[in-house]
Amino acid sequence: MRKNFKYLILLTFFVASGLAVISATSTPTHAQTNAAWPTKPVRLIIPFPPGASTNDIMGRALALRLSEALGQQFVVDNRPGAGGNLGSEIGAKAVADGYTLLIGTNGPIAISPHIYKTLGYDPLRDLAPVTLYAMVPYAIVVHASVKANNLNELIALAKASPGKLLYASSGSGGTPHLCMEMFKSQLGIDITHVPYKGGAPATIDLLAGQVQVFCPGLPPVLPHIKSGKLRALALTMPKRSAFLPDVPTATELGQPKLDVNSWVGVLAPAKTPPAIIEKLHTAISRIMAQQDMRNFAANNGAEAMAMGPAEFGVFLRNESAKWGQVAKAANLRVE
C-alpha cells in the first residue's frame, strides 16, 4: 500500500512538472504578448467629426503611418458629441489591452472636467498618456478696423470702454472662450462674450466686423491675417510661431501667464501595459521626426513634436490645473 502511495506521489509530481514545462513553452506570458503587440487591428477613437478639425486631420495621418510602421491596421473611429466628451468617455472606458486608443486634445481632456457638472470619465485617472505629437498655436486676433496695433493698445482700449468690445468664441466652454476669459481675469478688463456654434461662424462674423476680438487656433484665420483683413496682436504661447514669425508672444509683451494653445496627443485606457505604451510612443516619435510628416503638420497649422509618456503626464496635470483656475474665476459651468 505504501509502495503504491509513493508511486502515486511520484507520478503526480512528474505529471505536474511536465504540464508546467508545456505551459511555460506553449502559453505566452504577458511580457511576450505585449512585445508582440499589435497582432490585430487597433481602433483609434477621434472624438470629433471627420475632417472638422486639426485633431481629425492629424489623427488620420498618424493612423495611416502607424499602420505602416507596426504592421497592423489602425482604424479611425469618429465618435463626435458633447464637445469631444462622448468619444473621450468611450476611449477612457475601453479595455486596457492596447487595441483601443484615443486622440485627445485640451477641450475634453483638460477643460471639460472643470466646466461640466457631470462627466462620465476622469481624464487624469482613467487615461494613460502616450505621446503629445502636435501643437496648434493660438493668437489674439482683431478685425482690421479695431484701433489697436498691439496687445497693450487692445488692453487700453478695453479699459477705456468697459463692455463695449465684443469677443467671439466657438461656443461656451471651448478653448477660444477660455482664452479670452483668462485674458480678462488676468488683466481685469471687461469684454463681452458672443458665443457661436463653431469656429467657422465666429470667423465669418469677425471678418464682417460684427465682433471685434477672437482667440482662435491659427489655421482658419491665417489666410485672413496675411491678407490684412484681420490683425494678430499676440501669440498666446511661450515662443514665436513659424507661421507668423513677426508676431510677438504674450510673454514678450509682459503677459507670461497668457499661455493658450491646442494640442493633439494619443492616450490609452488606464492600466494599458507600459510595454505597449512605450512601443507605441517609440513608433510615433519616429513618425513625427520624418520631414514629410512635419511638413504635413505645418501645412495644417500644427507644429510636430513627440512628448513622451512621463512628460506628457506632467503636461496634462498642469493643463488641468491651469484651466481649472480659469473656469473657477469665470464661474463657468455647462449642464
Per-residue pLDDT of the chain (335 residues; tens, 9 = 90+): 444 434 433 433 343 444 343 344 444 555 556 779 999 999 999 999 998 688 899 999 999 999 999 999 999 999 999 889 999 999 999 999 999 999 999 999 999 999 998 899 999 999 999 999 999 999 999 999 999 999 999 999 999 999 999 999 988 888 999 999 999 988 899 999 999 988 889 999 999 999 999 999 998 899 999 999 999 999 998 889 989 999 999 999 988 888 999 999 999 999 999 999 999 999 999 999 999 999 999 998 899 999 999 999 999 999 999 999 999 988 888 76
pLDDT of residue 53: 82
Whole-angstrom Cα distance, residue 29 to residue 39?
15
Q: Are 97 and 310 in contact (CB under 8 A)?
A: no
Helices marked H in the chain — which ranges? 2-26, 30-36, 54-70, 85-92, 106, 112-115, 123-126, 151-160, 175-187, 199-208, 218-227, 274-288, 291-299, 309-330
Q: What is the pTM of this model?
A: 0.85
C-alpha to C-alpha distance for 74 and 266, rounded to whole angstroms: 13
DSSP string, 55-85: HHHHHHHHHHHHHHHHSS-EEEEE---GGGH
Q: Please name each of the domains of the chain with its CATH number.
A: 41-135+262-330 (3.40.190.150), 139-235 (3.40.190.10)
Determine the Cα–Cα distance for residues 314 and 335; give it in Å rounded to an integer. 29
- The pLDDT value recorded for residue 230 is 97
SS3 (DSSP) at 141: strand
Query: Can you give the pLDDT at residue 15?
Result: 38
Rg for the chain, CA atoms, rounded: 25
- pLDDT attached to residue 34: 75
DSSP character for 217? B
Q: Which of 100, 86, 74, 89 is nearest to 48 (CA)?
A: 86
HSE-CB of 114 using CA atoms within 13 angstroms: 26
CB 91 within 8 A of CB 45: yes
Q: What is the pLDDT of residue 30?
A: 53
Q: How many whole angstroms separate alpha carbon 67 and alpha carbon 62?
A: 9
Cα pseudo-dihedral 168, 172, 177, 181, rounded to 10? 110
Compute the distance between CA of residue 131 and CA of residue 125 in angstroms, rounded to an integer. Answer: 17
